Structure 1
Amino acid sequence: MGDVGDPSQPARVFAHPEALIAAVGEALGRSAWLQIDQPRIDLFADATLDNQWIHVDPERAQHGPFGGCIAHGFLTLSLVNFFLPQIVRVDGARLGVNYGCDKIRFPAPVRVGARIRGVGQLLRAEAMEGGVQAWIRVTVEIEGEAKPGCVADTISRYYL
């Protein structure tokens, strides 16, 4: 189900959660490329009960607005969790959890066969009781396309 290549830029490693605070505004790593194929889209459609034809009917989608099947926006978003550990690693944390997102956009469709990767930027980081909360923008680039498939401002909590 889609190839996963070597990351083009290894994860940015922080020795401890507090180190994130000093790095606000800086670029993080880039994930490996991941190919989006029809079986992955079909599995996502089955899991979410979203079987809209633009995602799962290649013959009909060929004559639709995108010239073929496209990934669900929420499939692209869900892969941000796959990309994040390739983009940033926080050592010294007892636990890291996904706390949510502030803003999510889907500027361009991700077509079947496209390769995507996550690129990170540390937007904000603040101390909180028991750890650090970090806002990381993950831009899901589409190989060869000017616009990304998704831009998500994620919120992660790193507990000491």
Structure 2
Amino acid sequence: GDGRREANAATVLRTVLDHGPVARRSIATLSGLSPAAVSRQCTDLVRLGLVRELPELVESSGVGRPQIPVDLNTGESEGPVAGGVHIGVPGSTFGLLDLRGRLLARRTFPHEGIAPGELSGRVLAGLRTFLDDTVRGRRLLGVGAALGGWV
């Protein structure tokens, strides 16, 4: 069912994150998934823009299908990205990350002079401006937020 497909997609993505660039055959060996399941998942993940095929890394021996490695799509201009915001006492920090978790852009947003009742709206507006300035046509997969304090 869909749950298994999602679990397989997550397994393929984790394997590519940990070992990429990596050939589909190696993903199957490393993950324990069948070669057919890996092939289906890679096709879907390429179509979604999360994974990309790379030129062959090694010369083909002429036996079997050529090994085309896949890797996470972290292309500077087309790779999908995720945003993050940490809301602290003196200020907030915004970040933009690629699929490997590498920080692509960062901006601090001081809270000085902002009334407590206005803080969330101002931080949200600052985050929107940051994302408008940094995403630049790439697909934003989501935004995570963290804040400290007693719960």
Give TM-score scaled by structure 2 length. Answer: 0.27
Give TM-score scaled by structure 1 length. Answer: 0.26
Q: Which has the higher contact order (CA 8 A, sep 6+)?
A: 1
Is the helix fraction higher in 1 or 2?
Answer: 2
Is the strand fraction higher in 1 or 2?
Answer: 1
Structure ID, larger Rg: 2
